[in-house]
Structure 1
Amino acid sequence: MQISCLIVDDEPYAVELLEAYVRQVPYLTLAGKCYNVVEALEHLSHSPADLLLLDINMPQLTGMQLAAILPPTRRIIFTTAYSEYAVESYNRNALDYLLKPITFERFLQAVEKYPRIEEEVPEPPLFIKSGKTIVKISFPEVTYIEGARDYVTIHTLTEKHIVYKRMKDLEDSLGPGFFRIHHSYIIQMRHVVKIEDNHVHMPGQRIPITDKYRASFLEYIRQSML
């Protein structure tokens, strides 16, 4: 399978380096080179690319702003000299996050994630009983779960559902990507906006990290950082 790549970076040297790397990988083809977000949008309007090699800090519009308006199915590898955007990049469903200067070995590790992700089997939906109704929920849409004494509230991107089930029982049925950071909260890592002052910012909610879960959670984050 050939993967077409669009390079978006305002630094000519960075573009030349990535182009050289693309040409060294047999299953990659170069779809084009753009030096700002406006050029990239124009290019994508008539020549779709499978994979964007996207810089973050660019004049006028940033790579993060471009990622925010592209379809969520668009595959992106961020390339930047700044590490502080790592958490936000994964919230944009990035395949990887490459810190400049980028070695060929690190570039190859990133692009090799593309076929592996495409071959993943989708997670089965979660069926819950909310009141008298059985509701189907897609795991990727769950942002966080809030527990009370005898029930939990499952928050998704668009709605919430109350389920009469203990937090521990529900936790055992969750797949990878969910992390407990508080006695009353389980979050899904893909929806983390940022981590600040012992709180995790989720869409529409700021959740504290308690002492019991802090060490394991921060270790998980440390292992995911570049």
Structure 2
Amino acid sequence: MSTFKITCVIVDDEPMALNLVESYVAKTPFLELKKKCSSAIEALEFIKNEPVDLLFLDIQMPDLSGIAFSKMVPKETRIIFTTAFDQYAIEGFKVEALDYLLKPFDYAEFLEAANKANKWFSLTKGNQQSNVSDEKDFLFVKSEYKQLRIKLDDVLYFESLKDYIKIYLKDNPKPILTLMSLKSLEEELPNTKFMRVHRSFIVSLKNIEVIERSQIIINKQRITVSEQYKTDFLEFVNNNSFNS
């Protein structure tokens, strides 16, 4: 499975339904909730400024229906409809919804629909990211008034230090110090080679020497995998483990 998160918005005018889907999203590791909205108009305003991957969208709502709203969202944003009325199923599939959940639905049904979305994004978004990572094998970073070319294969790990980042390299006893945020760096790095495992650390996956409980050892440095990043890291370990 892919290590990226699918960003999503929940849209429903019923507070109980809104809260139920929110609880389902919270227990699904590959979903990241950006906002819950009580109307399609509120959701439309939000995604204009912050596009998301997926909408969990009620159909029958006042002012603007889910079907009408679905025709206004960017084509990159996919939809899973949630409704109490099964007569909308054909209309839902006409607008190429990924799935259609009929209320009341339980977590197993929700997860089945979410997994369809995960497979779809693994084929599209995952391929795009892997293409980028194939092209990028170095970064230019500013350090001491110079632009240094850093080969990504030489990087052991990155450590955040307030507004700066320390870059630890093979065969280089002193780290390189550069003014940059760890978040902006994470967006530039190929996700097939690097993973954030702590709010202060991004590690080179190929340079991990030992994993001991919740710690990674790289070049004698122990780095703790925090709870926030543990799910993705364990998925990486499981996908690359040999079990006899």
Taking structure 2 as the reference length, the TM-score comes to 0.48
Q: 1:31 is aligned with what amino acid?
A: K
Instruction: Give the match's secondary structure for 2:35.
Output: strand
- Partner SS state of residue 112, structure 1: helix
CA contact (8 A) 2:30 2:118 kept: no
Whether the 8 Å contact between 2:60 and 2:83 is mirrored in structure 1 is yes
- After TM superposition, the structure 1 = structure 2 runs for residues 144-155 of structure 1, keeping only pairs within 5 Å, are none
Match of 2:25 among 22, 27, 50: 22
Written as runs of structure 1 = structure 2, the 5 A alignment for 1:59-208 is 59-120=62-123
Which position in structure 1 is the counterpart of 2:50? 47
- Match of 2:71, SS? helix
How far apart, in 2, do the equivalents of 1:91 and 1:71 lie?
Answer: 16
Deviation of 1:91 (Å): 1.0
Aligned 8 A contact 1:72 1:93 in 2: no
Q: Following the alignment from structure 1 to structure 2, what is the Cα–Cα distance between the partners of residues 116 and 25?
A: 14
Deviation string for 1:41-78 (max 9, x for gaps)? Answer: 11101122111000000001100000012223321000
- Does structure 1 conserve the Cα–Cα contact (< 8 Å) formed by 2:81 and 2:92? yes
CA displacement 1:83-122 (0-9 Å, x = unmatched): 001111111110100000110000000010113223448x
Q: Tell me what 2:36 maps to.
A: 33
Q: Tell which structure's C-alpha radius of gyration is larger.
A: 2
Rounded to whole Å, the distance in 1 between the matches of 2:118 and 2:9 is: 17
For structure 1, the 5+ residue unaligned runs are: 122-226
Q: Which amino acid aligns with 2:13?
A: D
TM-score (norm. length: structure 1): 0.52
Q: Does the CA contact (< 8 Å) of 1:3 and 1:27 recur in 2?
A: yes
The alignment partner of 1:30 has SS state of strand
Distance 1:31 1:116 in 2: 20
The alignment-based identity, stated in percent, is 46
